[in-house]
Amino acid sequence: MRKLGKVLIAIMMIAVAIGGLTYFYFRKGGIISGTITLGSIDLYVCPEKVSETETPLEVAISINNSYPISIRIRGGDLKFLVDSLELASALIPNQTITQGPNILVANIILNNTLIDEFWYQHLSRVETSNISLEGSITFETPLGDVRVPVKYSATIKTNIFPIEQDLNREYDLVILGKVIARNIKVELNSVSPYETYLKISLTVENDLKIVPLYVRGLVFRIRTQGMTILGTGEQESVKVIAPGETDTIVFTTVIDNTKIPMLWYEHIKSKEKTTIYIEAWLRVEVAGTTIELFKESPLRVSTEFKTNIFKYKENA
């Protein structure tokens, strides 16, 4: 077999997530071999750094360099997307990856002013969204620069609506008898980029002795546990419930989507668990007198807005 002179043989394979970048390098009878592997990706938030307009993130990408030499990163880019909506982008600066395990940290800032658009799209898709981190990292190798894609994705699924709750709240009108709020149901009616419409079905029993109950309207407030007001208003309604009868009154209430960035701010501060309250009271007429039933202690139903997108750092 002929003796070979100077020979250079390189085998290169690129994979993402579980494979990363792998190559073998042979030269002058010696060998430099190893792998660079892209592993897990984690998204970190420090709640103390979150503002009403921005959510700073740390993107931690685990990289293992099994070569006996350091490898240079010659930059990269990342985008944070919710479906097709881009909430943030960032550049990865030049740096060196030493031998062994490394954590590459990239800083990226979500634009909270776009969260109302995320809310609209999320509810439009039956409370399901896909978040993704897309981009690439360029490694400087003995074979030249190699661009490796970065891909991370997760599904957000929430169960904010519908809500149904038994109330059995009594309003005592003394000698006339009682009005009883039996049940309340809240459903998503429709959503636009600007407003979220909720259908409220309130079941009321007229336990007055001989007097009909004239329902004139509903006053409502929608808020979080941190007292972020998402919507307030009043809707007129005309409904007559005879003595001893039970009927369901249907109203439409509205969330102002421009308040959703504040909801998000509170949501991240509370580590992605937020309680939303719908509070209401009735305006009725009994024996010629207008009365606001339950105004002092409103009828209330609650729901949870829960996600699991980020990991959390304290005082980072």
Which residues, in sequence order, are CB contacts of 13 under 8 Å at separation 6+?
A: 19, 21, 22, 23
Q: Tell me what the mean pLDDT of segment 2-25 comes to.
A: 31
pLDDT at 13 exceeding the cut of 70:
no
Domain 40-63+70-157 identical in fold to domain 163-311: yes
Interval 126-137 mean pLDDT: 97
Neighbours of 61 (CB within 10 A): 22
Give the residues across from 186 on adjacent strands.
Answer: 163, 200
pLDDT at 25 over 50: no
CATH T-level fold of 163-311: Immunoglobulin-like (2.60.40)
Given a cut of 70, whether residue 90 has pLDDT beyond it is yes
Q: What mean pLDDT is predicted for residues 47-63?
A: 96
Average pLDDT over residues 206-220: 96
61 in Cβ contact with 38 (< 8 Å): yes
Task: Give Cβ neighbours of residue 289 (< 8 Å, ≥ 6 apart).
Answer: none
Where do the structural domains in the chain lie, given as residue ranges? 40-63+70-157, 163-311
CA atoms of 135 and 110, how far apart (whole Å): 16
The confidence band for 247, taking pLDDT boundaries of 50, 70 and 90, is: very high
Share of the chain above pLDDT 90, in %: 81
pLDDT band at 5 (very low <50, low <70, confident <90, very high): very low
The pLDDT assigned to 14 comes to 27
Cβ atoms of 234 and 170 closer than 8 Å? no
pLDDT at 7 (0 to 100): 25
Residue 46 backbone dihedrals phi, psi, to 5 degrees: -105, 110
The CA distance from 72 to 145, in Å, is 9
Q: Is the pLDDT of residue 178 over 50?
A: yes
What string of DSSP letters covers the chain?
-PPP-S-EEEEEEE-STTS-EEEEEEETTEEEEEEEEEEEEEEEE-GGG--SSEEEEEEEEEEEE-SSS-EEEEEEEEEEEETTEEEEEEEEPPEEE-SEEEEEEEEEEEEGGGHHHHHHHHHHTTSEEEEEEEEEEEEEETTEEEEEEEEEEEEEE-----EEEEEEEEEE-GGGEEEEEEEEEEEEEEE-SSEEEEEEEEEEEEEESS--EEEEEEEEEEEETT--EEEEEEEEEEEEE-TT-EEEEEEEEEEEGGGHHHHHHHHHHTTSEEEEEEEEEEEEEETTEEEEETSSS-EEEEEEEE----EE-S--
Domain 40-63+70-157 indexed as CATH 2.60.40.10: yes
Locus of tokens 């609209």: 120
pLDDT, average across residues 244-264? 97
Tell me if 62 sits within 8 A of 101, measured CB to CB.
yes
